[in-house]
Structure 1
């Protein structure tokens, strides 16, 4: 999916407004995507399942600092995916992997391939955790389904969903068959955002503020950056979207990037703020863990989110399988190998998710170990390697700064996550949902 093929791309020169830039077009098929369509793809690459952990990142960093960091991560994302295309133009590369290979050789290619395997693989684990957390609460609302019912056992739910839905869909060989997933996912995410906004107004008065809820900064800010990076990483799609444009120029790509990242940032800030304002220090890694089980509106939100996860899981599995195919099998899998690799990857991810049920640490680890290098470190390192500008050129200086920040976030974030893992109250009904608060809470629910 994301790997370099020298046989299908043609290098051309195209005049832009003020300079000549290198443009890469498919040899056999011209790109036909307009700017709005490409922008939609970029937004959808960001606004997905990772958004559910953004309120938790506000708790980790401190709300004021968290909002500022979210703006910072968005800026770095914007800057680094433009750097990727600049680096591609300098090196003649058409993919992230080819860019790293031309910058740092085969060792760099292997490092990037490892990261591009880790990111979706850990995401698969987090999706299974979310599936178990989310759908068990949906099923609890069914009349006659009690606490001892199999439908309320997260392990049973994860195994059932894997066997019935995610594994069969993951076995598709052609990712085009999953093309409608992005559109459905974006619609469902919008519905979830509206629900979180409504509950910020109706539920937050009933949840007491925790101590130091509005302190400017907290000690776990570095892990928060990892969670935010996990939500914003979209670099593996950048070359594909750029190559799909009718007019793939750096100027067009910059406009698409600026608009798309800005809209994604607005949605992310609203979601993170509403979620944190509602629950402050009680905010969980999965924000739906905070809502009461007798809340029909958020139950509908859980259902929407559960569907989103089920539809998104196969996309991540597709990427992990492609990495394995390209590194170990020269990019081609026989039918038997295709099935075997898919089953093994899904089975390992599912086994880990059955044994661990706290989402926060999973988001932190995937953020600091995978997303941070993909967003902060590798794009800037490649550009610095290829740049022909003077050392004090603005792009070189900013790249050095982002690279340094990325190394610090990755190193410190990993150490802090391992030494000081966050507590998790998975599966527990929050105190403000108990009967003594239920009547007051129910009276504030709007008539849906």
Structure 2
């Protein structure tokens, strides 16, 4: 252990000595972070648990929308795009860690402040707020649409019209009785243990998708549907497409960016890592992204090969239609809803932290302010979940705007600003490509999504 601590301290010292401090305050902050990382080296989180924590930050509601993306891009088109986004996410984390070493900051907001002063801090904080509000509203949208169906499947008679089968009523009750009280706590560390179950639920969900691929025949027939709607019985509907492009393909990259966004969790996990070093944290990131990529790909490909062109934008809805009383499907539904329910209060904290850092950073803690911010966030996400008709809309707008900024634009821009390397160096050229591609992809896909809304 002593050797590993020494290597961490030596590596940090090498980076600090290689940079000329802008002033004594910057040098002091580097030394403080150096001492903090060295101190936590003996009591920090192990490599395995760090990978697990980061996977929990990555794998979320995006897993429910990727099969729909594959239906609108084709298997090969989807595979290429998903792999590209995963690699870009890993590379942007590499740039963030490099800037973390150089500037000695421990949060994304502070990195923006170090690069562009107060405007940079506000820009990053605002992006994080919008991103987390979008993520929370997507989770609540899943609860609103799936919880009534899950309850009705356990009932033997028709109870249509009752309050406990109304999605909006259930959503408000859950947010008032569960989400708000848990999010109101100043420290919610105990939920970190329960939220670890969400990753196992996502793995269970992927396994069920694989198993149930052979339970739903193709062509799809009306025998498997409780409500009447027209379904084509053409055998062409059961042939997977390698490449497919339509107006719905505009949601591909935003949904993938939304699904791989973990960058606001990178620096806190790095600070808690046992024997922390840039290389060790990069290995944690690469491992977590690789496993998450595998889970996402399995869920998407088997979900697509089950429903083909009839796949829903939220995958669970398809199983509700075709296997409404299947015990395994009912169980995995409850598991996903439980995971979502435990995740929503946790996402409140970075959003509230970003708001507090921008507007109240110089004020002492106040329960009144803390409660009002939490209440305001809760009201916003409930209204979005009630009035947004489709989870695809959340993935499209949030993914094309804030997710691309946090994965593509900001890491590239901040590295170009802070790095002292020559512009023709490989890292700076990579950062420039990341920055430009993020702007182009984000604006292009956002324009397509908005155009699709207007057309409808």
Deviations 1:393-437 (CA, angstroms, capped at 9, x unpaired): 22122222222221112101111111113999xxxxxxxxxxxxx
Checking the alignment, whether the CA contact within 8 Å between 1:235 and 1:374 is kept in structure 2 is yes
Provide structure 2 residue ranges, at least 5 long, that are not aligned to the other structure: 1-6, 17-32, 221-232
Checking the alignment, whether the CA contact within 8 Å between 2:8 and 2:275 is kept in structure 1 is no
Counterparts of 1:254-273 in structure 2 under 5 Å?
254-273=282-301
Structure-2 separation of matches of 1:124 and 1:397: 35
- Determine the structure 2 residue equivalent to 1:443: none
1:129 aligns with 2:156: no
Checking the alignment, whether the CA contact within 8 Å between 1:33 and 1:246 is kept in structure 2 is yes
Q: 1:218 is matched with which residue: 245, 248, 251?
A: 245
Question: Relative to structure 1, is the Cα distance of residues 226 and 27 closer, same or farther in structure 2, using a 3 angstrom cutoff?
Answer: closer
Q: Higher helix proportion, which one? A: 2
Q: CA RMSD in A?
A: 2.4
- Determine the structure 2 residue equivalent to 1:26: 36
1:186 aligns with 2:193: no
Counterparts of 1:350-361 in structure 2 under 5 Å?
350-361=382-393
Structure-1 separation of matches of 2:316 and 2:386: 19
- Determine the structure 1 residue equivalent to 2:105: 93
Checking the alignment, whether the CA contact within 8 Å between 1:276 and 1:283 is kept in structure 2 is yes
Counterparts of 1:200-239 in structure 2 under 5 Å?
200-203=213-216, 205-207=218-220, 210=237, 214-219=241-246, 220-239=248-267
- Determine the structure 1 residue equivalent to 2:82: 70
Structure-1 separation of matches of 2:11 and 2:347: 36
Structure-2 separation of matches of 1:95 and 1:233: 15
Checking the alignment, whether the CA contact within 8 Å between 1:376 and 1:403 is kept in structure 2 is yes
Deviations 1:161-187 (CA, angstroms, capped at 9, x unpaired): 112211221111103132113311112
Counterpart secondary structure, 2:65 = helix
1:53 aligns with 2:85: no
Deviations 1:247-305 (CA, angstroms, capped at 9, x unpaired): 22112122222222111111111111111121122222210011132333212111111
Structure-2 separation of matches of 1:181 and 1:370: 28
- Determine the structure 2 residue equivalent to 1:6: none
- Determine the structure 1 residue equivalent to 2:4: none
Checking the alignment, whether the CA contact within 8 Å between 1:24 and 1:248 is kept in structure 2 is no
Q: 1:335 is matched with which residue: 367, 371, 374?
A: 367
Checking the alignment, whether the CA contact within 8 Å between 2:61 and 2:138 is kept in structure 1 is no
Structure-2 separation of matches of 1:419 and 1:194: 36
Structure-2 separation of matches of 1:55 and 1:247: 39
Checking the alignment, whether the CA contact within 8 Å between 1:24 and 1:94 is kept in structure 2 is no
1:411 aligns with 2:443: yes
Structure-2 separation of matches of 1:13 and 1:263: 26
Counterpart secondary structure, 1:122 = helix
Checking the alignment, whether the CA contact within 8 Å between 1:80 and 1:380 is kept in structure 2 is yes
Checking the alignment, whether the CA contact within 8 Å between 2:138 and 2:394 is kept in structure 1 is yes
1:394 aligns with 2:426: yes
Q: 2:312 is matched with which residue: 284, 302, 306?
A: 284
1:364 aligns with 2:396: yes
Structure-1 separation of matches of 2:37 and 2:10: 19
Q: TM-score, normalised by structure 1?
A: 0.86
Provide structure 1 residue ranges, at least 5 long, that are not aligned to the other structure: 1-11, 425-448
